[in-house]
Amino acid sequence: GAVVSQHPSWVICKSGTSVKIECRSLDFQATTMFWYRQFPKQSLMLMATSNEGSKATYEQGVEKDKFLINHASLTLSTLTVTSAHPEDSSFYICSALILAGGVSTDTQYFGPGTRLTVL
Amino acid sequence: GESVGLHLPTLSVQEGDNSIINCAYSNSASDYFIWYKQESGKGPQFIIDIRSNMDKRQGQRVTVLLNKTVKHLSLQIAATQPGDSAVYFCAETRGAGSYQLTFGKGTKLSVIP
């Protein structure tokens, strides 16, 4: 259980175009999902917290008008990179939060990532 | 963007030996810590977690130790196997009740057959 998928797994686009990345929780519902960016040989950096039915919360330094997040259902969050430029090339990873309740811990399960290359 | 010349700390161990990966954290308000394994080109995979009211937790072949006094976390892997080769990240919550995670820099584990 607790499988998170992302689509596409990789995408190459021209500078100035927009790219949409989907994150789905396949066998559970997730009120909260997260979007991360990871540059080569670096750690994951949280970009934003996506909450179903409400506006996403962006981390400091992340442009909300450039990285549009929509969490329209309990199993799907999308990240759209608008007017992409080469510096946006990165590995984008989403995660979905499972709230365990009780004495169990709340856990994030990660998707496989999407490699974006902007030419 | 990409940082040319940036290298992850690397740990090389012989197959069958035990591995110890260390992590220092900075937020004394963190109450939950997780270790993730990331293979090349894939998303992080949950390994083991520990709450701040514990100092040790064991799983299958893995043990996490937490020293809150010096803000140090370690992951011990027993009888390391080639399939354990990956980058390992520690992560901490931002504070009590927070779901946002801050990831450490990562350590690359290479297992020598």
Residue B101: count other Cβ atoms within 10 Å of its Cβ: 23
Sign of the CA dihedral with A91 first, then A38, B35, and A59 last: negative
Q: In 3D, which of A119, A118, A111, A98 has the Cα closest to residue A44?
A: A111
Exposed, middle or buried: residue B59 (CB in 10 Å: 0-12, 13-18, 19+)?
exposed
What domains appear along chain B, each with residue ranges and CATH number?
4-112 (2.60.40.10)
Find the CB nearest A40 among B2, B46, B100: B2
For the stretch A61-103, pLDDT in tens is 999 999 999 998 999 999 999 999 999 999 999 999 987 665 5
Residue B5 has pLDDT above 50, yes or no: no
Cα–chain center distance at A87: 17
Residue B79: count other Cβ atoms within 10 Å of its Cβ: 11
B41 contacts A113? CB cut-off 8 A: yes
Average pLDDT of every residue of chain A: 92
Using the Cβ of B3 and the Cβ atoms of chain A, whether some distance falls under 8 Å is answered with yes
B6 contacts A105? CB cut-off 8 A: no
Residue A17 has pLDDT above 70, yes or no: yes
Find the CB nearest A105 among B2, B44, B49: B49
Sign of the CA dihedral with B16 first, then A112, B95, and A105 last: negative
CA of B4 to nearest chain A CA: how many angstroms apart?
9
- SS3 label, residue B101: strand
